[in-house]
Amino acid sequence: MALAVACGLGFGFGSAWAVEPQLELHPASGEPQKSAATLIQDLGVQTAQALASKKAEKPAGRRELLRQLVRQGFDLEMTSQFVLGKYWNRASGTQRAEFLDLFTEYLLNSYSRHLGSYQAETLSVVSSNLVGDQDILVETKVAGVDGPAAPVWRVRAIDGAYKIIDVTVDGVSLALTQRREFASVVNRVGLDGLLKLLREKLEIQAKTMDLDTDRPSHASLLGSILSSPGANRLDIFVAGQ
């Protein structure tokens, strides 16, 4: 199913655009492929508008606008549970709650930082296809000054509306990669050790964002926070700061 839907990013909106970003609700319907593709297209348009707004002229304002879009478009809780894998059921209630808080914040920081890479680029929805019983894979292309990229978005109907639960870049799934990395960390230092590592990385993220005064210029949405399958257990965290 080829959609060939393209949306220009980073032009035509004007710096006076001041409305808070708001993704349209994309309810689960009889046309799941079309609805999932529209969600991704809408995310691209809203990202461009957010980056063109006056509030985005300062790094803190830009980050908050993008974080709002991440909250609206992604199911961060489902992704958090998936990446912890079998250890989610083994964790205590306190450990689950802390992991959910820490990793959700980590995802918010990472996704919002790299959504900014879409400025002055074009997102094209190439196809949208059902996979399995409940997911839709939306294939896209991003063409920009830093070169092309082809993120693939995994979308699922959750509580009656479509949400993004994973993104794949260059054939590497963010959720699956982090699930493997987390399993490796827990096997070495336990779940409490993983929580400690997440706390440390969030502190590093915060310091890095405080010093961040330039807009990101990465060609792909998640390229800089994905590690190769053979990378060591700290690479994802370090790359995703």
Q: What is the pLDDT of residue 48?
A: 80
Helix (H) or strand (E) holding 164: strand 161-169
Domains identified in the chain, total number: 1
Asked whether 123 and 6 are in contact (CB, 8 A), the reply is yes
Which residues 6+ apart lie within 8 Å of 205 measured at CB?
A: 106, 109, 110, 240, 241
Residue 203 burial (10 A CB sphere; 0-12, 13-18, 19+): exposed
Mean pLDDT of the chain: 76
Range in 30-39, 117-126, 187-196 with the lowest mean pLDDT: 117-126
Q: Does residue 24 come out as left (phi exceeding 0), alpha (psi in the -120 to 50 range) or beta?
A: beta
Structural domain boundaries enclosing 61: 2-239
- Amino acid identity of residue 65, one-letter, is L
pLDDT, greater one: 150 or 190: 190
pLDDT at 43: 87
61-98: pLDDT as tens digits: 888 888 888 889 999 999 999 999 999 999 999 999 99
Lowest mean per-residue pLDDT among 6-15, 174-183, 227-236? 227-236
d(CA 90, CA 83): 14
What does the longest C-alpha to C-alpha distance in the chain come to? 51
Orientation of helix 93-115 relative to helix 76-84, angle to 10°: 120
Give the strands of the sheet with 152-158, arranged side by side: 2-8, 122-131, 135-143, 152-158, 161-169, 172-173
- The whole-number pLDDT of residue 7 equals 44
**Rounded percentage of the chain residues whose pLDDT exceeds 90:** 37
Over residues 115-146, the pLDDT tens digits come to: 666 554 577 899 999 998 899 999 998 865 56
Q: Give me the pLDDT at residue 124, please.
A: 84
Confidence band (pLDDT; 50, 70, 90) for 53?
A: confident
CATH assignment at residue 10: 3.10.450.710
| Banded model confidence at residue 217, pLDDT cuts 50, 70, 90 | very low
Please determine, for residue 231, whether its predicted confidence score (pLDDT) is greater than 50.
Answer: no
Residue labelled with tokens 């306190």? 94
The predicted model scores a pTM of: 0.76
Going from the C-alpha of 168 to that of each of 6, 55, 140, 146, 227, the distances in angstroms are 19, 30, 10, 19, 12
